[in-house]
């Protein structure tokens, strides 16, 4: 469960962010490169892999009692909202588990290409990140992923704050990303967690929907994170 930290102040030494490997473009018509890149993840995230468990009740949590991903490779668990699907196939190497939500074509506010109007949350793992570097690494990774998904777009930092996930130091970052080709704003949130002294993990959420509720749901998934 994500909470405010006991010690919020950390310095920020320089450290590079890392891009995930670029997935192959899907063979279909797309609104643009950015939506296409995220749509690839929505397709890939229809596939295999993590352990699932049914409950992780937290007082006051919006996802209390919902199924959860238990991603032991990343060392994190996270909730699955109603209407979201767990993965059933392979993921690109940067990630270890994911869940996705796609809006029906006839849903209120759905875009013409409904397969590009969904949300995805992915977990990944990495090497150790000291608490003093979490903010810089999280902000750098968020911007790097924004550039990866939206190579012709721009991003604006909306939030950057220290948190704790099950008493482990973490940092969460939210960006509004403008897709220059379509002129629409999308939502990206990344939470970087020092799950152990010798390794870190991240949750990355991206919402293509213009609806505020869809973006809040992505944030709720990341806020449900727990350390395994």
CATH number for the domain spanning 98: value is 3.40.1000.10
What pLDDT, on the 0 to 100 scale, is given for residue 91? 75
| Res. 14 pLDDT band, cuts 50 70 90 | very low
| Res. 209 pLDDT band, cuts 50 70 90 | confident
> Residue 195 falls within a domain, yes or no?
yes
Q: In the chain, how many domains are there? A: 1
> Residue 139 falls within a domain, yes or no?
yes
What pLDDT, on the 0 to 100 scale, is given for residue 210? 81
What pLDDT, on the 0 to 100 scale, is given for residue 103? 64
- Give the residue-averaged pLDDT of 106-111: 48
> Residue 214 falls within a domain, yes or no?
no
pTM of structure: 0.75
Which structural domain, as residue segments, surrounds residue 126? 30-207
> What would the 3-class secondary structure string for the chain be?
CEECCCCCCCCCCCCCCCCCCCCCCCCCCCCCHHHHHHHHHHHHCCCCCCEEECCCCCCCCCCCCCCEEEECCCCEEEECCCCCEECCCCCCCCCCEEEEECCCCCCCCCCCCHHHCCEEEEEEEECCCCHHHHHHHHHHHHHHHHHHHCCCCEEEEEEEEEEEECCEEEEEEEEEEEECCCCEEEEEEEEEEEEECCEEEEEEEEECCCCHHHHHHHHHHHHCCEEC
By mean pLDDT, which of 3-7, 66-70, 103-107 is the weakest? 3-7
What pLDDT, on the 0 to 100 scale, is given for residue 80? 96
Q: Tell me what the pLDDT averaged over the chain comes to.
A: 76
> Residue 59 falls within a domain, yes or no?
yes
By mean pLDDT, which of 106-110, 154-158, 174-178 is the weakest? 106-110
């Amino acid at each position: 469960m994500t909470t405010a930290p006991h010690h919020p102040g950390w310095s920020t030494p320089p450290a590079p962010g890392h891009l995930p490997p670029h997935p192959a473009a899907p063979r279909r018509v797309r609104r643009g490169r950015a939506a296409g890149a995220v749509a690839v993840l929505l397709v890939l995230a229809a596939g295999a892999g993590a352990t699932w468990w049914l409950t992780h009740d937290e007082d006051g949590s919006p996802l209390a009692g919902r199924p959860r991903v238990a991603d032991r490779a990343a060392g994190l668990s996270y909730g699955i909202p109603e209407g979201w699907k767990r993965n059933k196939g392979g993921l690109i190497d940067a990630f270890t588990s994911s869940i996705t939500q796609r809006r029906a074509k006839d849903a209120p506010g759905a875009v013409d290409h409904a397969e590009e109007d969904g949300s995805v949350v992915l977990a990944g793992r990495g090497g150790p990140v000291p608490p003093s570097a979490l903010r810089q690494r999280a902000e750098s990774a968020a911007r790097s992923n924004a550039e990866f998904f939206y190579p012709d777009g721009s991003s604006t930092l909306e939030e950057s704050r220290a948190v704790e996930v099950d008493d482990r130091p973490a940092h969460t970052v939210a960006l509004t990303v403008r897709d220059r080709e379509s002129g629409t704003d999308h939502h990206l949130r990344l939470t970087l967690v020092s799950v152990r002294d010798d390794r870190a993990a991240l949750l990355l959420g991206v919402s293509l929907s213009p609806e505020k509720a869809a973006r809040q749901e992505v944030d709720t998934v990341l806020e449900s994170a727990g350390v395994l």
